[in-house]
Amino acid sequence: MTQNTPPGTTTVPSPFPRLGPLGLLAALVAVTPPLSAQEVPVVAELQVEPTSIQMEVGEEVPITVRALDVLGNEVDAEFRMGGRREAVQMVDGRVRGLLPGEHDLVISLFPGPDVEWEGESPPTATVPVQVGWPSVAEVEIRTEEGRLYEGTRVRHRAVATHPDGSERPAEHVEVRWSSSDPEVASVNRFGDVTAHTTGQVQISAEAEGVQGEVTYEIEPFPAERLVIEGGVEEALAGDVVPFSVRAYDADGNEVADLPISWSHTYTPNDSVGPHAGGSGLVREGRFVGELPGEYTVIANAGRLAAEHTLEVLPRGVIEAVDFVGQGRVNNVHTSDLWVWEGVDGRDYAITGTWGADGYAYIWDITNPASIVKTDSIQVDARTVNDVKVSPDGRYATMTREGASTRRNGVVILDLAEPAHPVIAAEFDEGLTGGVHNAFPTEDHVFALSGGEKYLIIDVTDLYNPRYVSEFQYPGARIHDVWVKDGIAYSAQRPVGGVMVDVGDGRWGGSPENPVLIGVTGPMPEGGGAHTVYPYYQESEDRLLLFLADEILNREGRALGHGQGRTLQVDPYDPETGEGGTPSMSSGYLHILDITDHENPEILARYHVPEYGTHNTWVEDDILYQAYWEGGMRMVDISGDLRGNLHTQDREIAVFKSWDPAGYIANAPFVWSAMPFKDHIFFSDYNSGVWAVEVTPETPVIP
């Protein structure tokens, strides 16, 4: 979540050089009496060129903003430029189009000690931005596995690409399908081709006047018998059960290229019938039963079918979660949290603050039932968004946004005395704009620079940090970075997760020479990529990547309709009747298999529709998800994963941090959670740091 500016904004310096006192005097002397060096210029309006923008997705258009005083003289100043962050992006004084449609770029004067303005609020200007797609240059038809025989059906999809080779997202291209001979094979509007008889046929897909074709020679159906293999008699809700199919001809020879379609039937264990939203899914032979009951998995190929019936039992993972202690913060908003064991053997937590004059707090959590604040650190910032501690507990990082000097950077804390850290260094070399997140390893800090890139900083000597290198993925806004086993994983809209070799070495990378491995590609539906967490799942011998959305509104949903952005930063004021409205969010967690970094696969999601995700932690096959107003949520991620974990009986526990004395009363809004020494600690935006513990549910004995 952004601190001093709404999400999707960035601070852009004026393209004009700063005028010192003498330069300002020279600019105004002809029309006004001389000004003293102590006087502050007053901005009356903002002048923007161009006043409106028309562009294509991926195109960048320069924009110039000038601050003028009442006499029309230019004033040296800085500006905030913000828009819908998934739609437009600011890159070095240029507007980049990301999403088609009509959008507004809102520009306002950045408050600072060097400027003043007329009126109650800083001057603003709005620039309409119309973004369109580039033209379609080519349409390619791709098919699922399997050959098209008489009586079978194969799904096709059309991929439209632009002149630069980029792919148009399927939801943003209208495709018209057709068959040269519908009596031989017909095609529906989804690209499903059904072969009716033998013969030759051409299937076409047309988008924006550009056509792609594929030709088939339909042959007789060759199989006489279909056999389904695999499966079990019983499975738990949420288990992934694999199946395979073999087809044989009349002579008993195997037919290897038949297209197989999958389906299932469901009979519930109660009299209510199938629950809303479905009861299971089966795709490419991998079945998941989401609710207890009897399921029959069916494989079809032409006129043949084979099936397997199994029973799905309750998963039974629910446990009790109990309150242990709280370090209340109710005068400001709390941001991130990190817990660790100090070099003195005691346990500690550090929390940041949002919009609260640059404070971070240190807590002794050795006794989770009695959380004690031991110290606070203040830096020049409006917000300390992110706090983390190095793996060896040697140092901590605090990120800064909204510094009065406009030089934010990252702050390094020496943790030699954990209860009372000292500032070892403030590093801002090459870090333009706010530093939203950072990640400390034992010897390096990876610090975000604005929304553009991350810098790699050598902190072997805490008191003399040194710039090493940097990495920037073009055309994407970075929001989070996490380093595991020499690979940096960053969450970047709109491309998803970006993977970079920064020491693994298999791709030739090092801290001095970061090398791009690949990207996951855009995430379906949700906000895309806000936070990132890599996790090696030992039980399945695979590497998973968790990408969480952050959408601070409920646009398009009945709950929240018409309320727009509802992020509230003020407690309730009984005199005015304003403030105190709980924040609202949406979006969910995407789960990918990245064992093959160059060929990532989307596996599953964790989607609780009423709420939105934020920071993620995974340990021992348990997901600890900060789910904003949905609370701190624990989820079983053991075994293979498919579908939506929320509907699969995989939720272990949910804890909502209701606090009647919170900054906004009784408004849970969980930012970050971490398991630590048999407890779970988490930070709440409205009420500070919490400790809870989990105990198995005691069965009821009649």
- The average pLDDT across 526-531 equals 78
Rg (CA), the chain: 29
**Cα(358)–Cα(385) distance, rounded to whole angstroms?**
9
Residue written as tokens 């242990």? 324
How confident is residue 39, by pLDDT bands cut at 50, 70 and 90? confident
What are 551-606's pLDDT values in tens digits? 888 877 887 755 545 555 688 888 888 888 888 889 999 999 999 999 999 999 99
What residue type is 272 in one-letter code?
Answer: V
| DSSP secondary structure letter of residue 24 | H
Residue written as tokens 């519908």? 182
- The average pLDDT across 77-88 equals 79
* pLDDT of res. 89: 79
How confident is residue 336, by pLDDT bands cut at 50, 70 and 90? very high
The pTM of the full predicted model, rounded to 2 decimals, is 0.85
Q: Give the other-Cβ count within 10 Å of 369's Cβ.
A: 12
- The average pLDDT across 344-350 equals 98
How confident is residue 477, by pLDDT bands cut at 50, 70 and 90? confident
| Of residues 5 and 155, more confidently modeled | 155
The percentage of the chain sitting over the pLDDT mark of 70, rounded to a whole number, equals 91
Contact (Cβ atoms closer than 8 angstroms) between residue 350 and residue 337:
yes
User: Of the spans 70-84, 155-169, 335-349, which averages the highest pLDDT?
Assistant: 335-349
**Which residues fall within 8 angstroms of residue 366, CB to CB, at 6 or more apart?**
346, 347
Mean pLDDT across the chain:
89
| DSSP secondary structure letter of residue 586 | B
User: Of the spans 145-159, 467-481, 506-520, which averages the highest pLDDT?
Assistant: 506-520
CATH number of this structure's domain 9-132: 2.60.40.1080
Angle at 518 between CA 513 and CA 522, to 5 degrees: 135
The domain limits of the chain are: 9-132, 138-218, 225-313
What are 184-230's pLDDT values in tens digits? 999 999 999 999 999 999 999 999 999 999 999 999 999 999 999 99
**Cα(540)–Cα(681) distance, rounded to whole angstroms?**
27
* pLDDT of res. 506: 97
Q: Is the pLDDT of residue 486 over 70?
A: yes
User: Of the spans 32-46, 77-91, 522-536, 665-679, which averages the highest pLDDT?
Assistant: 665-679
* pLDDT of res. 561: 53
* pLDDT of res. 115: 79
Burial class for 423, CB neighbours closer than 10 Å (0-12, 13-18, 19+): middle
* pLDDT of res. 211: 97
| Of residues 127 and 82, more confidently modeled | 127
Going by C-alpha positions, the residue among 412, 414, 416, 389 that lies closest to residue 399 is: 412
- The average pLDDT across 11-30 equals 30
Contact (Cβ atoms closer than 8 angstroms) between residue 663 and residue 687:
yes
Q: Is the pLDDT of residue 504 over 90?
A: yes
Q: Is the pLDDT of residue 237 over 50?
A: yes
3-state secondary structure 359-406: EEEEEECCCCCCCEEEEEEECCCCECCCEEECCCCCEEEEECECCCCC
* pLDDT of res. 83: 80
What residue type is 523 in one-letter code?
Answer: M
Q: Which CATH architecture has domain 138-218?
A: Sandwich (2.60)
Q: Is the pLDDT of residue 278 over 60?
A: no
Kind of pairing between the strands at 280-283 and 286-289: antiparallel
* pLDDT of res. 476: 83
What are 627-681's pLDDT values in tens digits? 999 999 999 999 999 999 999 999 999 999 999 999 999 999 999 999 999 999 9
| Of residues 619 and 451, more confidently modeled | 619
Burial class for 439, CB neighbours closer than 10 Å (0-12, 13-18, 19+): buried
CATH 3.30.360.10 is right for the domain spanning 225-313: no
How confident is residue 519, by pLDDT bands cut at 50, 70 and 90? very high
The percentage of the chain sitting over the pLDDT mark of 90, rounded to a whole number, equals 71
* pLDDT of res. 19: 29
Q: How many residues does the chain have?
A: 702
Q: Is the pLDDT of residue 1 over 70?
A: no
**Dihedral of CA 654/553/488/522: which sign?**
positive
Going by C-alpha positions, the residue among 138, 106, 112, 141 that lies closest to residue 124 is: 106
Contacts 24+ apart (CB under 8 A), 84-90: 84/8, 85/7, 85/8, 85/9, 85/477, 85/493, 86/8, 86/493, 86/494, 86/527, 86/528, 87/129, 87/131, 88/8, 88/129, 88/131, 89/451, 89/475, 89/477, 90/10, 90/12, 90/451
* pLDDT of res. 276: 42
Q: Cα–Cα distances in Å, from 115 out to 41, 243, 296? A: 5, 68, 71
What residue type is 645 in one-letter code?
Answer: L
Q: Do domains 9-132 and 138-218 have the same CATH topology?
A: yes
What are 391-430's pLDDT values in tens digits? 999 999 999 998 888 789 999 999 999 999 999 999 999 9
| Of residues 158 and 279, more confidently modeled | 158
- The average pLDDT across 348-377 equals 97
Contact (Cβ atoms closer than 8 angstroms) between residue 522 and residue 513:
no
**Which residues fall within 8 angstroms of residue 319, CB to CB, at 6 or more apart?**
634, 652, 653, 694, 695, 696, 697
What residue type is 612 in one-letter code?
Answer: G
* 137 token code pair: 């240059």
| Of residues 583 and 623, more confidently modeled | 623
* pLDDT of res. 30: 31
Q: Cα–Cα distances in Å, from 140 out to 56, 188, 361? A: 22, 17, 56
CA 433 to chain centre: 21
